[in-house]
Structure 1
Amino acid sequence: MKVGEKAPDFALKDQNGEEFKLSDFRGKKVLLSFHPLAWTSVCEKQMKALDENYERFEKLNVVPVGISVDSVPTKKAWAEHMGLKKLRILSDFWPHGEVAKLYDLFREDGGFSERANVLVDEEGKVVFFKVYPISELPDLEEVFEAAERDKK
């Protein structure tokens, strides 16, 4: 997956079992924030940072979502544990890691995705794509800068 490419469309269930379909968000930017696994410390910090910055994303016409291979019930329990207020966290559970594979972010050896941020613009094109070391918290300022640069 490269900047400028069309983002593959997908539909996944969020922590409440509601469908999230990427193409339903045309006209808005979408941040796909991939994280390896729920209930891990860096992943928790990553999702809480998205939720805490939700209004800042909204001002830039960005809808942030978290994505991992965990099941919907796991996502629900984790979202409640973290006290998420607005952030939707999506389950790429079955077929296992299918969306992570579409974005070339699935780690076959571990059975989970890379830690990555993918910003998709209003027309469905990738405008920012970065994979982070598994142990590193992604820098949201990079995403905010990319969203600012890509203002339509």
Structure 2
Amino acid sequence: MNELKTGKTIEDFTLRDSNRNVVHLHDLKGKKILLAFHPLAWTQGCAKHMKLLEENYEKFSSMNTVALGISIDSVPSKKAWAKELGVEKTVFLSDFWPHGAVARMYGMFNEDMGVSKRASILIDEDLKVKYIKVYETRSLPDIDEIFVAIRD
């Protein structure tokens, strides 16, 4: 694992989204990217977190930002969960196998629980880490704080 630091180029990854499409991080160069790690689908806190991203989809888009919801859940689980939540625009990524590989790569894996931490990693248009914040498992990110980081 490389230590994740602001100003450093983010290490690349490829994951599948909830529709089985391949999402290659470095293909998103030219946009800001919010990696929204969350512990586990089908939980109340994570549902609120992902709905928050969906509710702000247009604002993210207007700021040239793509929000990606990442957890260790399988593709079929993420697909069913997105449908259950009514999330249609926000991309959900599956870090299922190898189990939590991307979360581990970025130091965002909770070894005690076997899930990713709740965290926000903002990447700029040149794929450099701009902002990192790890939250208590049960707390939600402050969306206004994230928008300030995107603007700055």
TM-score, normalised to structure 1, is: 0.96
Q: Alignment partner for residue 5 of structure 2, among 2, 7, 11? A: 2
User: What's 1:22 paired with?
Assistant: 25
User: What's 2:15 paired with?
Assistant: 12
Letter in 1 for 2:76: P
User: What's 1:90 paired with?
Assistant: 93
Over aligned residue pairs, what C-alpha RMSD do you find? 0.6
For 2:124 and 2:19, the matched residues in 1 are separated by: 25
TM-score, normalised to structure 2, is: 0.96
Q: Match of 1:135, SS?
A: coil
In the alignment, structure 2 segments of 5+ residues that lack a partner are none
User: What's 1:32 paired with?
Assistant: 35
For 2:6 and 2:105, the matched residues in 1 are separated by: 15
Aligned residues: 149
For 1:9 and 1:142, the matched residues in 2 are separated by: 25
How much identity, in percent, do the aligned residues show? 53
Q: Alignment partner for residue 128 of structure 1, among 121, 131, 136? A: 131
Letter in 2 for 1:121: D
In the alignment, structure 1 segments of 5+ residues that lack a partner are none
Q: Give 1:63-78 correspondences, 5 Å limit.
A: 63-78=66-81
- Residues 1:47 and 2:50 are matched in the alignment: yes
Q: Deviations over 1:23-79 (max 9, x none)?
A: 000000000000000000010000001011000001111000100000000001100
Instruction: Spell out structure 1 runs of 4+ moving beyond 6 A.
Output: none
